[in-house]
Amino acid sequence: MNNLDAFQEFHEKMNMYLDNALPKEDEQAFLTQIHDDPDCSRMYASEKNFRDLIRNNIQRTHVSPHLIQNIKNKIRVL
């Protein structure tokens, strides 16, 4: 990647792809870019590994449905 704009665009598309928010018509071009550009491939692999590490090592605390409803009710009041 040669310039900041290209990096920012790639980073935005990568996040959208990993969040399943990248439009289908843009996915193939993104995957081709990862395949063809070693820098993009490394950045993608690094971000994916980081997200996988977090997903596999963070445990969510379970809360009661009552607490969830109370929070929703308070948000509606605001």
User: What's the confidence (pLDDT) of residue 2?
Assistant: 62
Q: Once rounded to an integer, what is the mean pLDDT over residues 21-48?
A: 96
Q: Look up residue 34 and give its amino acid.
A: I
Which burial class, exposed, middle or buried, applies to 18 when counting CB atoms under 10 A from its CB (0-12, 13-18, 19+)?
Answer: middle
Distance in angstroms (rounded) separating the CA atoms of residues 30 and 10: 8
Domain locations in the chain?
A: 4-77
Q: State pLDDT tens for residues 37-48.
A: 999 999 999 999
Q: Once rounded to an integer, what is the mean pLDDT over residues 25-54?
A: 96
pLDDT exceeds 80 at position 78: no
DSSP string, 35-59: HH-HHHHHHHHHHHHHHHHHHHH--
8 Å CB contact between 40 and 6: no
